[in-house]
Amino acid sequence: MKKLIWIIVAVVVVGGIIWVSGSKKSAPVSGEPIKIGALLILSGDFAAWGENAKKGIDLALEDFRKDHPENNIQIIYEDTKGDAKLALSGFKKLTEVDHVDAIIGPLFSTEVAALAPIVKDSIPVVTPSYAPLQNRPNPWNPLMVWMDPRIEARHFAQYIFDSGVRHGAIIGTLDTWEKEGYDAFVEEFEKLGGTFTDKEIVQPETSDVKLEITKIVKSKPEAVFVATYYQFVNSLKSLKDLGYPGKLYGAEVDSYLADQTKNLSDGLQFIAPDFYTSDFVTEFNNRFNEKPGIPAGQAYDAANILFSFVTKYKNTTDILQVMSDFKKYNGVSGQIEVTPEQRIVFPTAIFELRNGDIVRLQSI
């Protein structure tokens, strides 16, 4: 609830920050650096997500500098800890003190929803994240580089139903991205003819989901859909403690969650962005001595999209116009497309966890 309250507060106080919207910033004078701010989660419980994004952005900048040595781009990082309040203060610091020309991020949908009313026509923002359309006064700024949760959830509901599951249970959170996916999954699964033995919703930051998982287990579902990143680990621990014997499903599990649930999640299947292009995986592994996890590729693509904008067009007005015309981009995440309804679509696949390893099963 704290995050939802803050979003409301952010909209109320927008008048005190909206000074940015009146400034149509020109491109830097020749020789001056192009400064880009990056609002990322670099500490706290979800720092692994932010560090993956940061590595993707760092790699994108290295590659861009090799191909475009004439452009001097600098990245200024601000740590949001995944908190909408810190994302707002970080935005103010980047724009008012550092005078950045554009911004990458933030990463959580609550953060994006808090910033969207402020940035709508002021400064270009490209984010490897998502916020509902109703929280985005300008549907093109921030520009989203993330799969629409409703489309993804409907695909997954169809896959699970086709796998033979007819009676399931689901747990999710009130985070805006997770709740949209939760609602779409429930709607689609029931439309197909499936039923739910139990449906649970918790706060993203809750520390204990044992009560909710107990209700789920007592309802005796064939399968449980853990429709949450925030509460993925806690949910699987409780399911294990309570001896749940059925099938497990999830959404957008990354290498961090896979490692944290290594002894809890064997056989769990989930939907997520498809594997990145082989060249990107090789380059990322050579640079950081690890495989890229979510959202490294999306952050890499978001950075390159923004680099192309700020180095080609003269001022904010021109960049915002180009963003409104953005329809398709072929990146390391696959072909990113914008639907007529301003929803983002790109390739997804079904994966399975096996002893902490992520194994791709099929595209979807």
What is the C-alpha R_g of the chain? Answer: 20
Instruction: Choose among 240, 237, 268: nearest CA to 253.
Output: 268
Sole residue written with tokens 């099938």: 247
Please state, in angstroms and rounded to a whole number, the distance separating the CA atoms of residues 226 and 182.
Answer: 9
**How far is Cα of residue 240 from the mean position of the Cα atoms in its chain?**
27
What pLDDT, on a 0 to 100 scale, did the predictor assign at position 31? 62
Strand, helix or coil for residue 179: helix
Q: What angle do CA 7, 99, 109 make, to 5 degrees?
A: 25
Is pLDDT of 2 > 50? no
Is residue 16 very low, low, confident or very high in pLDDT (cuts 50, 70, 90)?
very low
- Cβ 347 vs Cβ 356: under 8 Å: no
pLDDT higher at 2 or 162: 162
Mean pLDDT along residues 55-60: 98
Strands 328-331 and 357-363 turn out to be unpaired
Please state, in angstroms and rounded to a whole number, the distance separating the CA atoms of residues 333 and 361.
Answer: 17
Strands 34-40 and 73-79 turn out to be parallel
- Tokens representing 189 are 């699964």
Strand, helix or coil for residue 78: strand
Is pLDDT of 182 > 50? yes
pLDDT 10s digits, 123-135: 999 999 998 888 8
Is residue 14 very low, low, confident or very high in pLDDT (cuts 50, 70, 90)?
very low
What pLDDT, on a 0 to 100 scale, did the predictor assign at position 303? 98
Mean pLDDT along residues 296-323: 93
Strand, helix or coil for residue 361: strand
At position 59, the amino acid (one-letter code) is: L
Strands 73-79 and 328-331 turn out to be unpaired
From the DSSP assignment, how many helices (H) and strands (E) are in the chain? 13, 15
State the DSSP string of 194-216: -EEEEEEEE-TT-S--HHHHHHH
Per cent of the chain over pLDDT 90 is 79
Backbone angles phi, psi at 123, to 5 degrees: -135, 135
Per cent of the chain over pLDDT 70 is 91
- Tokens representing 230 are 């925030």
Other residues' Cβ atoms within 10 Å of the Cβ of residue 13? 12
Mean pLDDT along residues 204-223: 96
Give pTM, 2 decimals. 0.81
Residue 303 to residues 57, 127, 214, Cα–Cα distance (Å): 6, 8, 43
- Domain residue ranges in the chain: 2-146+295-326, 149-274+349-363
- Cβ 267 vs Cβ 253: under 8 Å: no
Is pLDDT of 136 > 80? yes
Is pLDDT of 8 > 80? no
Region of poorest pLDDT, from 23-37, 93-107, 151-165:
23-37
- Tokens representing 202 are 């918790």
pLDDT 10s digits, 76-120: 999 999 999 999 999 999 999 999 999 999 999 899 999 999 998
Handedness of CA 277, 303, 85, 315 (dihedral sign): negative
Buried b (16+ CB within 10 A) or exposed e, 314-343: eebebbbeebeeeeebebbbbebebeeeeb
Is pLDDT of 5 > 50? no
Is pLDDT of 26 > 60? no
What pLDDT, on a 0 to 100 scale, did the predictor assign at position 20? 38
Burial of 72 (0-12, 13-18, 19+ CB in 10 A): middle
Domains 2-146+295-326 and 149-274+349-363 are alike in CATH topology: yes
Fold classification of 2-146+295-326 (topology level): Rossmann fold (3.40.50)
What pLDDT, on a 0 to 100 scale, did the predictor assign at position 318? 93
User: Top-level CATH class of 149-274+349-363?
Assistant: alpha beta
Please state, in angstroms and rounded to a whole number, the distance separating the CA atoms of residues 240 and 300.
Answer: 36
Cis peptide before 139 (omega within 30 of 0): no
